[in-house]
A and B are shown apart, each in its own frame.
Chain A
Amino acid sequence: MKRIFPLLLAIVALTILMALWVPQGRFLTASNLLDLAQQIAVNAILAFGLTLVILIGGIDLSVGAVVALVGTIAVAVLASAGWIVALAAGLAAAAVFGLVNGWCAANTRMPPFIITLAMMLVARGFALRFNEGRPLPIPDTERVFLALGNARLFDLIPVPVLLMLGAFLLMALLLHRTAFGQHLYAMGGNREAARFTGIRLARNEVTVYVLCSVLAGLAGIIHASQLYSAEPGSGQGFELNAIAAVVVGGTSFTGGTGTLPGTLLGAVIIGILDKGLNQAGVHFSLQYVIKGLVILAAVYLDVRRRHSN
């Protein structure tokens, strides 16, 4: 609680700011806030996976392309095999990419930045194989698949929000309540030291990359469902937005530091900025400037805090 307090404070401050700034008090309404939760879902799910990867000192640039690939595979399979097979095929493809990323990172001296950059191109290329790169529509009859991105529980809570919270709970338990999670902190803190204590680095590293990819797959399925179509060219730059949420949420790029609740709040902050600035009518060019400055300020505060300790 103590660690995420500054983030909560920032969220409250931003919410007050936007509530005053957005005309006619249209920011602080229940439907707008539910929209906000729905809008951050894809980014937050990507950020959960990236938190683990960044925590152990790695990086995964392929998540955006995996979003596109999984969505495309799932929708391509959907028509012939039904939604269960479609989801399984999509997530399996994601897991394969995670395995390759993780195996290379654990067993070769290639830097994860380069490995996942290369795999990003591979995933993007595979995605663009479908339908010559044009979007594949999801037929209206695929109600379950479309519900994943568009339905609301009790006509109120969007399903993507539930999926996001589910992923959050699972990953938070894994990271903060299991030995595996503790091992990840140890690996990120000092890899050599972790090796000498007998932590199985390679196995953990592969697991982390697979988790990250599978979460990206889940995000891809939600993304496709939300868009009523799979778009092979979509997801470009998603990795960067997710990394922004992770870093704003207090995970250090050097590894060993960070929490999952922090990442969730980081995603909320990025979401409030996007939404609030849109609704306040700020010109889109300035929105980028503001977002960039906020990220810079967040990282600066993080670095300063740790140096003063």
Chain B
Amino acid sequence: MTPVPRVPERPALALGVPLRRAPLCGAGFQPASSEFDVAPDPRPRLRSSRGRCRALSRGLHGGLPGVLALLLAGWATGCRKAPESVAPTPAGGRLFAVTFQTMNNPFFVDLNEGLRRVIEAKGDRLVTLDAQFNSLKQKNDIADLLQQQPAALFINPVNWEGIKGSLIEAQRKNVPAIIVDAPVSEPDLVLCQVASDNVEAGRLACEALARVNPKAQVVILHLSVNKACIDRVAGFRAEAGRHPDLKILDTQEGKGTTEGARPVMRDLLARFPEMDAAFPINDPSALGCLSAIESAGKSGQVTVVSVDGSREGISAVKAGRLHSTSAQFPAEIGRVAAETAYEHLAARPVPKDIKIPVRLITRDNADEFLSPP
């Protein structure tokens, strides 16, 4: 669609003719949101029946090519819905919605699955939206969802301050909001918050370290903008305070990624020859740490403890490269959040703050976590 205005009358002053190249010049043209963040979910979300899709296409047939492109894509989604089922499914039960700060992280994909399993088992449906770390997109997404009066809204906020406007709006529309995985600054505006016990995760990591090396000289690789990581480091420090011989040499930004942590760890290894332990706040940065240690020829001399329990992390634990990782259970967070919503909808009281326990994974129990669920 969007046929574009004709070439406007050239102002009297313009003597020349404009270049007539295609306007697609420069890499800056693609909209930011044009990349896939996660493989498309094979299950269609749309409720419209095949007939309605056809009617739609017919109604707009002969429209502009853009509209056709839109329709085609729409048809592709809409009409995939259960082609075999003859009896029309009932109009879809209640609507639940979730918005994630990003879907480009297996953690949130698993969390989403946990939510969906509970919700679809009850014959209801879940709409998932990806904010792509953009708080304004998240705010707009939530406004769109609220217009449809969902039974409950699950939010994983991009910005724990910036979500406030959306929470006020949800409250005004009487839609219960449940925060998953990350805390918000105004807990009064939400029904409840469900998250890993990150303080405990950090504490477990330190405890595990102190068990093997009570005199450890540790560096911390932080991600200090993230509340969950702030909590992990707080837990680690609190536990470290109980071991007088354990010393924290320095805390540096590891960016929470493998490629971010690696150079930082290399610098730290050069700076502190006495360093014999490291606490990267998640598994990706732990992998970066290990890579730096191995390339510095210090394999086995530095004990690395981390938090996450990702497949890669557990594999590294099993291989003996990573000492331990405190596992989070994203699918469990999703399950508990969904069940809490149903409890609330059944007019039963729910707790305000739910912490999902974490578990320490070491070489002894790694296999138990690596087996498929």
Contacts and interface: CB of A to CB of B under 8 A. Distances in A.
B148 A240 contact: no
A253 B18 contact: no
B162 A233 contact: no
B8 A309 contact: no
A204 B14 CA distance: 15
A161 B34 CA distance: 27
Contacts of A290: 69-70, 73-74
Contact of A190 (B4, B15, B127): B15
B211 interface: no
Contacts of B346: none
B87 interface: no
B40 A286 contact: yes
A17 B147 contact: no
B133 A236 contact: yes
Interface in B74-117: 74, 76-78, 91-92, 103
Nearest to A176: B8
Nearest to B142: A278
Contact of B17 (A190, A194, A241): A190
A20 B59 contact: yes
Contacts, number: 328
Interface residues of B, number: 92
Given A227-B135, A278-B144, A301-B4, A284 B18 contact: no
Contacts of B165: 149-150, 226-228
B129 A35 contact: no
Contact of A269 (B2, B34, B69, B185): B2
Interface residues of A, number: 112
Contact of B225 (A133, A252, A279, A281): A133
B5 A13 contact: no
A95 interface: no
Interface string A175-188: 00000001101101
A254 interface: yes
- Give the most central of B20, B71, B77: most A CB within 10 Å: B77
Interface string B19-58: 1111111101111111111111100111110001001100
Interface stretch (A81-89, A98-106, A205-213, A292-300): A292-300
Interface in A203-252: 223, 226-229, 231, 233-234, 236-241, 243-244, 247-250, 252
B136 interface: yes
Interface SS of B by simple majority: loop
Contacts of B30: 240, 292
28 contacts: A2-B5, A4-B5, A6-B1, A6-B3, A6-B4, A9-B3, A21-B48, A23-B47, A39-B143, A134-B225, A189-B14, A189-B17, A193-B15, A227-B136, A227-B159, A227-B165, A237-B134, A238-B32, A247-B23, A279-B145, A281-B125, A291-B33, A297-B2, A299-B24, A301-B3, A301-B64, A306-B7, A307-B20
Interface of A: 2-4, 6-7, 9-10, 13-14, 16-17, 20-24, 26, 29, 31-32, 35, 38-39, 42, 59, 61, 113, 132-137, 149-150, 182-183, 185-186, 188-190, 192-194, 196-197, 199, 223, 226-229, 231, 233-234, 236-241, 243-244, 247-250, 252-259, 262, 266, 269, 273-275, 278-303, 305-307, 309
Interface of B: 1-8, 10-26, 28-41, 44-48, 52, 55-56, 59-60, 63-67, 69-71, 73-74, 76-78, 91-92, 103, 125, 127-130, 132-136, 139-141, 143-145, 147-148, 159-162, 164-165, 185, 224-225
